[in-house]
């Protein structure tokens, strides 16, 4: 078989591990060749890419980012986009396509599958919000980075008697905030799934500080929002990408201002931003990404298309792509209840 591979959307630690695993598995099975498209769907639209071999995918396992590059190009947003992709697929004489991406990249993959392209999806996102898989690779690394940052912020918060607001990624779901918040001992965690009452957050902080403690850590997802009708104001919305997603970032700064003015406590915000997506994947993410890559190759050689590889418990399985993309996987309320035990 000749297989096309691409990485789309935001990058994520573990992408290279997936690419390496697909190629290695395919080469070992014998007779398979690989073409990697540059910069996600943009590479397919422009027929731009490179031959992937065992030699040029060796040594990339621990490397962050993606050797193929990525973009948020949406071929469904332009007329003729789907036709151009099908043309590239045929010109490159491909038998299957393995897109590695999040909800947007896999959404395009689903549309192409409906058009008849043989597709096996591999889910990736540090946000961990793709349905029908317990975890996506990249999430563990992001949580580790955020936890290390919270640990560092703890000591400076304590020295200066300050409230430290830590803004982490998480557009629809508060997985990173809640995991890193639990691991780092946060005193409040604000997530997209639960609009927050700023008065309530501040009274918890006041209660904590009146009990003799002089510092607090507040972890907030970039996608968190104040309750409707709240007096708290956010900055103007950022521009949207080709998939219609608004550019997020900055709620931490708004919280810094609000908490300081309502409580009188000195408050500082740290936006972790893309630090969470960069650098080498953790061992857990390398293993998960490798297992996903091998399973995707096996699904392609077995002719099982229209699927996405996924983790269920400790097993790697294949799930229906359409089912998987029906809804984002939001935070488990029970996990949040555990985090709440330690608030204030």
Residues near ligand F6P (CB under 6 A)? 9-10, 102, 125-127, 169-171, 222, 248, 277
Residue 303 β-bridge partners: none
Nearest approach in angstroms of CB 11 to ligand F6P is: 8
When the beta carbons of 103 and 298 are compared against ligand F6P, the nearer one is: 103
DSSP SS3 for 108: helix
Query: Residue 12 CB, nearest distance to ligand F6P (Å)?
Result: 7
Helix, coil or strand: residue 47? coil
Nearer to ligand F6P, 248 or 253 (CB): 248
Torsion on CA atoms 155, 156, 162, 166, rounded to nearest 10: -90
> Which residue numbers are catalytic?
127
State which residue has the least CB distance to ligand F6P.
Answer: 10
10 Å Cβ neighbour count for 312?
A: 11
Instruction: Write down the least CB distance from residue 283 to ligand F6P, Å.
Output: 21
Say which residues have a Cβ less than 8 Å from residue 28's Cβ, sequence separation at least 6: none
Return the number of the residue (81 or 170) whose C-beta is nearest ligand F6P.
170
Shortest spacing between CB 171 and ligand F6P, in angstroms: 4
**Choice between 147 and 267, CB closer to ligand F6P:** 147
Q: Which is nearer to ligand F6P, 9 or 75 (CB)?
A: 9
Please give the helix or strand (H or E) that residue 216 lies within, else none.
strand 216-221
**Which is nearer to ligand F6P, 104 or 187 (by Cβ)?**
104
Distance CA 222, CA 300 (A): 36
Apex 10 CA angle, 326 and 61, nearest 5: 105
**What DSSP line would sit under 295-309, residue for residue?**
HHHHHHHTT--SEEE
Q: How far apart are CA 248 and CA 234, in angstroms?
A: 11
In angstroms, the Cα distances linking 250 to 178, 222, 223, 296 are 18, 7, 10, 37
Three-state secondary-structure class, residue 273: helix
- Is residue 320 within a helix (H) or strand (E), and if so which, with residue range? strand 315-320
Angstrom CA distances, 293 to 48, 92, 251, stand at 22, 21, 36
Least distance to ligand F6P, CB of residue 110, Å: 18
CB of 291 to ligand F6P, least distance (A): 21
């Amino acid at each position: 078989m000749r297989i096309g591979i691409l990485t789309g959307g935001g990058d994520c630690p573990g992408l290279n591990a997936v690419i390496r695993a697909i190629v290695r598995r395919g080469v070992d099975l014998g007779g398979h060749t690989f073409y990697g498209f540059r910069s996600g769907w943009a590479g397919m639209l422009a027929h731009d890419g490179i031959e992937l071999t065992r030699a040029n995918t060796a040594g990339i396992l621990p490397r962050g980012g993606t050797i193929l590059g990525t973009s948020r190009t949406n071929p469904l947003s332009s007329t003729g986009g789907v036709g151009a992709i099908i043309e590239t697929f045929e010109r490159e004489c491909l038998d299957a396509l393995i897109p590695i991406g999040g909800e947007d990249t896999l959404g395009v993959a689903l549309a192409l599958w409906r058009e008849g392209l043989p597709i096996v999806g591999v889910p990736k996102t540090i946000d961990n919000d793709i349905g029908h898989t317990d975890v996506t690779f990249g999430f563990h690394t992001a949580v580790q980075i955020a936890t290390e940052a919270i640990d560092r912020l703890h000591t400076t918060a304590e020295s200066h008697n300050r409230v430290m607001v830590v803004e982490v990624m998480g557009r629809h779901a508060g997985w990173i905030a809640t995991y890193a918040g639990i691991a780092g001992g946060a005193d409040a965690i604000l997530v997209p799934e639960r609009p927050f009452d700023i008065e309530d957050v501040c009274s918890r902080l006041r209660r904590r500080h009146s009990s003799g403690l002089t510092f607090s850590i507040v972890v907030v997802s970039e996608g968190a929002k104040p309750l409707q009708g709240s007096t708290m104001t956010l900055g103007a919305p950022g521009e949207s990408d080709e998939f219609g997603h608004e550019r997020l970032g900055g709620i931490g700064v708004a919280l810094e201002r609000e908490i300081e003015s309502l409580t009188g406590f000195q408050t500082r915000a740290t936006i972790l931003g893309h630090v969470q997506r960069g650098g080498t994947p953790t061992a857990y993410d390398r293993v998960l990404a490798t297992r996903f890559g091998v399973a995707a190759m096996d699904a392609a050689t077995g002719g099982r298309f229209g699927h996405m590889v996924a983790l269920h418990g400790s097993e790697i399985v294949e799930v229906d792509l359409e089912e998987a993309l029906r809804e984002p996987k939001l935070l488990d309320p029970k996990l949040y209840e555990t985090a709440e035990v330690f608030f204030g």
